[in-house]
Amino acid sequence: MLGLAFALWLSWAPSVVAQTPCIGSPTETCVTALQNQSCAGTRFGGTLGCTANDVSSGVSFTQPAANTLASCVAGSDVVLDLVALIGKGAPARYDIGLFFGQTANDPQLNNVANLCSLAVTPTSSAFSAVFYNDPADGDACGDVTSGTVANPPGIPLQIQGVKVRCTPLAGSNKVVLPYLISWSQSTTNNGSFAACSAALVPGTVSKCSANIASSVTDIIVNAYINITKATVPAADPQGFSFTSTATSGTPAWTLAGISTTQTLTAGQTKQITVPLGAAGTNTMTITEALAPFWEPGVTISCTAGAGSGNPTVVNNATRVITATFTAANFGANCTITNTKKPRITMVKSIVARAVGTDQFTITATGGGTLTDDTGTSIVAPVTTTTSGVALSSSTSFRSSPATAITFTETAASGALSDYTTAYSCTNATPGSPTVMPTGATTTFNLTPAANDDITCTFTNTPKPVLTKAFSPVSIGISGTTTLTFTIANLAGAPLRSGITFTDAFPTNLVIAATPAVTNSCGGTPTITATAGNGTFTVGGTGVDSAAGVSTCTISVNLTSSVSGSYTNGAAQITATSSNLKNGVTNQTLGVGLLAPTTAKSFVLPSISVGGTTTMNIAVTNANAVALTTLAFTDT
């Protein structure tokens, strides 16, 4: 009977039949295998059914002590040196070929896609007369002599350079190694080849021995996960730290030594391995630490590697991969994608204060999960408020990408209506798809993208102030007064244009027959001042107000034919432009009959005693109407 046991090495040499120098043992017979050969069934042209009882095969292999590989990564290809213990029955056998499935494949099958490593027994050996070459078979392939060789102990045969796919035997953590021994029963049915080479072909369908459940007992199969790091935005230099644990054994990162921790950056792929347990199973957990300024949730995508299925379960929220490895599912390829939080800076800017105690607050709400600029978690709302005489305040925070943020400005003290409000945003991140908002309201929404670095500024500018006054403040019926409107700008305020307003006078107070409108403010307004009308309008493109501390005036003449007291105040001002503050206070005009005045004079300023002169008395009526029944006494 024939029996086998084997060992491991990482080299290869061309196939020869003569004895090869042995590794680590001076007393073993050694040969070298030829890799990447068609398997026995394929060579035969049909699937073999190995049932012969005169050849037996072992179920396990070992490695030479001088060259021991302790483990291999599942799915990887290794080159082994195998020590086979040859046992045989009484008859001589010829052209002994040993086929090893290189991808855990069965050498019996007729499948051109499957490859085997092939070794042939030597034609001679200094250590065993069993190995020889019978000249009667007409070739140079090794044969074995007649006579029984028990197995165990068998005759050691070291076979170097066997290529093997590292795959666990079902229910085990050992490398599975399907193999087949073929032979010819006589010198006349030994196949059609003249020399022993890659052309060796089994002689019959059944005269062979095969074992698809054999293994290399001193190599442990390591399950693995290939971790690829990806980021949004791509190629970010941030390093992400990983820790790992396993039910048994110690996880190890490739190229990092025996370590359960590792750091990856975008674009890197590293492999973490763990030995399968004795039953061919193990569970490994890989956890990514939360990096500051990155979203706590990630996107993990895992696919099956070597093996028949995906052993992983992922938790995107906690950044955890749990792999339950078996002899069938022992590898995975996982990509972990992290998304960088956008950075938001809110700035409150005041050009000048309408009132010295005015203060303003910007509030941000929404935005998902937030952190401050140190990476510490915070909760909405986020605010910044001016104080004292400072003209600005700001704060920054990180938010969740693709999550809307609402910004709102309020007056902490004072009135927003005294100011024009403008907001604008800029983004320091090139190529961002986020549209930057601008506007003139006190609230707006923004939805930032990953890695945005956005600064949004609310700017408050005090409005020029409108006031008005009568001169004179009392007139007679149908008399004339001048109503003057004053527009005053504040220190630091910009030039304003497009200022418009309307003043609707109290009943019976109207524009005089000669309006005599004046405008020192400039601009090209449309001023409507129709005699006899009770409304005065500065419209069209409006008037201007110069930058900084400045005043200008607009005036019109008014009259009333009805006596009374007329109050013209803030309530009468309407249709003001948004850039004008109504600072009008109540102004009162008195209209009534004015008392006539008298003046007297002598025609002759001096006369003699007893002489006479004429005294003239002139009565003056300042009213626009005649006065009757006047009486006076001069004593």
Structure tokens at 595: 């008392």
Contact residues for 23 (Cβ-Cβ < 8 A; gap 6+): 7, 9, 30, 64, 66, 67, 81, 158, 160
Confidence (pLDDT) at 164? 96
* 247, pLDDT greater than 60: yes
Are the CB atoms for 577 and 501 separated by under 8 Å? yes
The H-or-E segment that residue 215 falls in is strand 215-232
Residue 503 and residue 539: Cα distance in Å, rounded? 11
Confidence (pLDDT) at 492? 85
pLDDT tens by residue, 54-87: 766 667 777 777 667 999 999 999 999 888 888 8
Confidence (pLDDT) at 549? 93
Share of the chain above pLDDT 90, in %: 68
The lowest-confidence range among 448-452, 577-581, 614-618 is 614-618
pLDDT tens by residue, 44-63: 999 999 988 776 666 777 77
Which range, 34-38, 328-332, 397-401, has the best average confidence (pLDDT)? 397-401
- Tell me the mean pLDDT in the region 112-123: 93
Confidence (pLDDT) at 198? 61
Q: Which residue has the higher pLDDT, 284 or 54?
A: 284
Reported confidence tier of residue 260, pLDDT bands at 50, 70, 90: low
Q: Quick check: helix, strand or coil at residue 538?
A: strand
* 449, pLDDT greater than 80: yes
* 258, pLDDT greater than 70: no
Instruction: Name the average pLDDT for the chain.
Output: 90
What DSSP designation does 418 have?
Answer: G
Confidence (pLDDT) at 87? 83
Residue 478 and residue 592: Cα distance in Å, rounded? 9
Q: Which residue has the higher pLDDT, 143 or 634?
A: 143
Contact residues for 609 (Cβ-Cβ < 8 A; gap 6+): none
* 590, pLDDT greater than 90: yes
The lowest-confidence range among 186-200, 372-386, 515-529 is 186-200
pTM, two decimal places: 0.78
Reported confidence tier of residue 189, pLDDT bands at 50, 70, 90: low
pLDDT tens by residue, 388-401: 999 999 999 999 99
Reported confidence tier of residue 3, pLDDT bands at 50, 70, 90: very low
> What are φ and ψ of residue 50, in 5° steps?
-75, 110
* 378, pLDDT greater than 50: yes
Per-residue burial over 51-87, b if 16 or more Cβ lie within 10 Å, else e, is: ebeebbbbebbbbbeebebebbbbbbebbbbbbbbbb
Architecture of domain 220-339: Sandwich (2.60)
* 205, pLDDT greater than 60: yes
According to CATH, what is the number of the domain 465-592? 2.60.40.290
Reported confidence tier of residue 15, pLDDT bands at 50, 70, 90: very low
The lowest-confidence range among 198-202, 275-279, 614-618 is 198-202
Residue 485 CA: distances (Å) to CA of 385, 479, 517, 554: 35, 20, 11, 5
- Tell me the mean pLDDT in the region 366-393: 97
- Tell me the mean pLDDT in the region 531-548: 96
The lowest-confidence range among 29-38, 62-71, 314-323 is 62-71
Are the CB atoms for 305 and 197 separated by under 8 Å? no
- Tell me the mean pLDDT in the region 583-597: 91
Q: Among residues 502, 633, 628, which one has the least CA distance to residue 576? A: 502
CA dihedral 122, 125, 130, 133 (to 10 degrees): 50
- Tell me the mean pLDDT in the region 287-302: 97
Reported confidence tier of residue 283, pLDDT bands at 50, 70, 90: very high
- Tell me the mean pLDDT in the region 418-437: 97
Residue 470, strand partner residues: 483
Reported confidence tier of residue 332, pLDDT bands at 50, 70, 90: very high
Confidence (pLDDT) at 598? 83
Domain 343-462, CATH among 3.40.50.720, 3.40.50.300, 2.60.40.1140, 3.65.10.10: 2.60.40.1140
Reported confidence tier of residue 195, pLDDT bands at 50, 70, 90: very low
Share of the chain above pLDDT 70, in %: 92
Ranges of each domain in the chain: 29-213, 220-339, 343-462, 465-592
Reported confidence tier of residue 352, pLDDT bands at 50, 70, 90: very high
Q: Which residue has the higher pLDDT, 137 or 539?
A: 539
Are the CB atoms for 361 and 409 separated by under 8 Å? yes
Reported confidence tier of residue 12, pLDDT bands at 50, 70, 90: very low
Structure tokens at 323: 């792999």
Can 220-339 and 343-462 be said to share one CATH topology? yes
* 139, pLDDT greater than 90: no
